Amino acid sequence: MRKRTLKRGLTGFWWFTLAFLYLPLAVVVLFSFNASNSAATFTGISLRWYGRLMGNEEILSAFANSMILAITSSVIALGVGCLIGYGMYRHRHRKLGWLIVLIYLPIVLPDIVFGISEMTFFVQIHRLTGLLQPGLGTMIIAHITFQIPFVALIVYSRFVGLDPTLFEAAKDLYATPVKRVVHFMLPTIKPALISAFFLSFTLSVDDFVISFFTAGPESATLPIYIWGAIKKGVSPEINAIATLMIGAVALAALISLVFSRRRQA
């Protein structure tokens, strides 16, 4: 009897928490279809804010910047991080404490300290040498820096999960290291590589603080654009872009659900 009431109370609390989690997103989506430009009252359904987006050069270029940044940084971080991950596995019996510290540093450093360190560094290097002008280039460098550890750790844990004798077998099967990499290693860690790429991509698109501090005047990404629009005074167009970004996340969630279901089956 007591257990039943506990369970019922928990179920109620669960739905309450879900409402709490989704309410702010729902409001954004709802008001993106608002006919009036009021942020407090809903007057009717219209698509006018979405129409405005299409003609807005700034938003389109911010979207392009976000994509270039996310894809370029993820690809480079995947290569570099994958090498570290393998190195960590292969030499796991050595004392690699310094490497572990180095890899965890980007993860534990508060975003704001991370972003400001990079910014002051880039600014001074630029003043001294003319290189590293703040812009997409510096943002890509900064994003790679926080993506590398995640890639390395994912790849490392995939290798750790493998049967060590597989490596011996591969050595017997394939004569050259190159063939071993192409025919054995890459295919075996493919799932890890895919999830590492998607994680890097998501981290990049999700990031605001580090991008904000390393960006140049021409390299605003979508979050930076939205930030600027909020600071200037809320325009209903923000709801429309934000809704599109929420939609992309919902799609990604659905895809990940389908994949996890298929893996279970």
As a whole number of Å, the CA-based R_g of the chain is: 23
Q: What is the dihedral of CA 42, 43, 45, 49, to 10 degrees?
A: -70
Q: What is the dihedral of CA 173, 177, 183, 184, to 10 degrees?
A: 80
Question: Cβ of residue 112: shortest distance to another protein, in angstroms?
Answer: 5
Residue (152 or 192) nearer to another protein, CB? 152
Q: Which of residues 184-243 bind another protein (CB under 8 A)?
A: 202, 205-206, 208-209, 213, 222-223, 226-227, 230, 234, 238-239, 242
Question: Cβ of residue 24: shortest distance to another protein, in angstroms?
Answer: 3
Q: How many degrees, rounded to 5, is the angle at CA 226 between CA 124 and CA 247?
A: 125
Residue (41 or 163) nearer to another protein, CB? 41
Q: Give Cα 109 to chain centroid, integer Å.
A: 17
* Residue count, binding to another protein (CB under 8 A): 80
Residue (71 or 209) nearer to another protein, CB? 209
Asked if 160 touches another protein (CB under 8 A), the answer is no
- For residue 111, the tally of other CB atoms under 10 A from its CB is 14
Question: Cβ of residue 47: shortest distance to another protein, in angstroms?
Answer: 19
Q: Is the Cβ–Cβ distance between 89 and 153 less than 8 Å?
A: no
Q: What is the x/- site pattern for another protein, positions 123-142, by CB under 8 A?
A: -x----------------xx
Q: Which of 81, 154, 220, 237 binds another protein (CB under 8 A)?
A: 81
Return d(Cα 76, Cα 142) in angstroms, integer. Answer: 12
